[in-house]
Amino acid sequence: MARLDIGAAALSGFGVIGRNPLAPAVWGLVRVVLTMGPLLLVLPAMLQFLDTLPELLAQEDPDWQDMMKAYMAMNVGSPLAFVGSLVAYGLVTGAVFRAVLSPADKAWFYLRFGLGEVMVVVVTIVIVVMLIFAIIPLAIVIGILTAVGGQVSEGAAAIVALLAILALVVGGVWVALRLSLAPAMSFDTRTFRLFESWRPTRGHALSLLLMAILNFIVVLMIQMVVGAIVGALMFGVMFSGPIDLATLSEDPASVLTRENIERWLPWLLGYGAVAGIASGYLLAIIDAPWAAAYKALVKDDAAEAA
């Protein structure tokens, strides 16, 4: 029977980073360019909006239609950013999976754009949509049960609602774990695989959950430490002048001016670049365990059986 080493799988992302330390930085930059690049196209519209905002707010009867037009102009890049985020997800997740499943195939920092990457995006979207649509009828059932319990007493309604929500969460997590190998499986086979993940995860839901929890704890600790250091440095520099955090909280309109935004822009872009590079390493740590689990429960198991 296939066996999953929880600790090794949860920390497999560090092995990916160790084998090619520069690759995650490239993944992070690719992600930043594809997701944040389109938003830079609307930077002039954003600066123009900031120019007109104080004047509009100072009017007794502001023209909200003009404000809405300016706001809509700032959101022109949102659809492009959404498409870019999907492409970035496929590219980076595919690169991480490739680094785990085919570590020797490291040309172009493991980055490709092929059918495997497309399948990763498609199957992930399908899983998310399925879970959302499954929650809706279950939420209705919870509402009905809570209403029935309310006919008895408020305490009974609260208990019924709590138990129903707990059951919904547990059931949703269990289904997600049973389908969790689908992205890596779809990437590896370059075909749409969803319920094919059900069989190899049978009897391993608890191991996969423990792997995910351990990985989450590690990622959270890294984010807290790195985020605190980088965030403190950036905000310390940005608000070290005549503007402080007290002013920002009391009168944000006087702080978020075009002049200040232009002064902060290099720091914001620098922070975005640093955060983007860091995100590549975090994604390696987050995504690698699922490829490692797929390798242990499917590929290695098939190899042993053969």
Is it the case that residue 95 has pLDDT exceeding 90?
yes
- Residue 262, pLDDT score: 63
Helix 64-74, helix 43-58: angle, nearest 10: 160
Q: What is the DSSP string of 108-123?
A: GGG---SHHHHHHHHH
- Six token digits for residue 298: 């499917």
- Residue 234, pLDDT score: 64
Query: CB-based burial of residue 185 (10 Å sphere; 0-12 exposed, 13-18 middle, 19+ buried)?
Result: buried
Is it the case that residue 241 has pLDDT exceeding 60?
no
Is it the case that residue 279 has pLDDT exceeding 60?
yes
Is it the case that residue 150 has pLDDT exceeding 70?
no
Residue from 190, 176, 194, 185 nearest 123 by CA: 194
Is it the case that residue 186 has pLDDT exceeding 90?
yes
- Residue 52, pLDDT score: 64
- Residue 46, pLDDT score: 66
More confident residue, 181 or 140: 181
The pLDDT of 235-259, averaged and rounded, is 56
CA-derived radius of gyration, the chain: 24
Band (pLDDT 50/70/90 cuts) for residue 124 is: very high
More confident residue, 290 or 241: 290
Instruction: Please give, one letter per residue, the 3-state secondary structure of 185-210.
Output: HHHHHCCCCCHHHCCCCCCCHHHHHH
Residue from 120, 110, 118, 100 nearest 24 by CA: 110
Residue from 170, 205, 187, 195 nearest 6 by CA: 205
Is it the case that residue 305 has pLDDT exceeding 60?
no
- Residue 258, pLDDT score: 60
The rounded percent of the chain whose pLDDT value lies above 90 is: 41
Is it the case that residue 27 has pLDDT exceeding 70?
yes
Ordered by start, the domain boundaries in the chain are 6-41+77-305
Render pLDDT for 193-236 as a digit per residue (tens, 0 to 9): 999 999 999 999 999 999 999 999 999 999 888 777 776 766 66
Helix 78-101, helix 182-189: angle, nearest 10: 80
What integer best gives the mean pLDDT of the chain?
80
The pLDDT of 49-74, averaged and rounded, is 61
Is it the case that residue 179 has pLDDT exceeding 90?
yes
Contact 273, 32 (CB under 8 A): yes
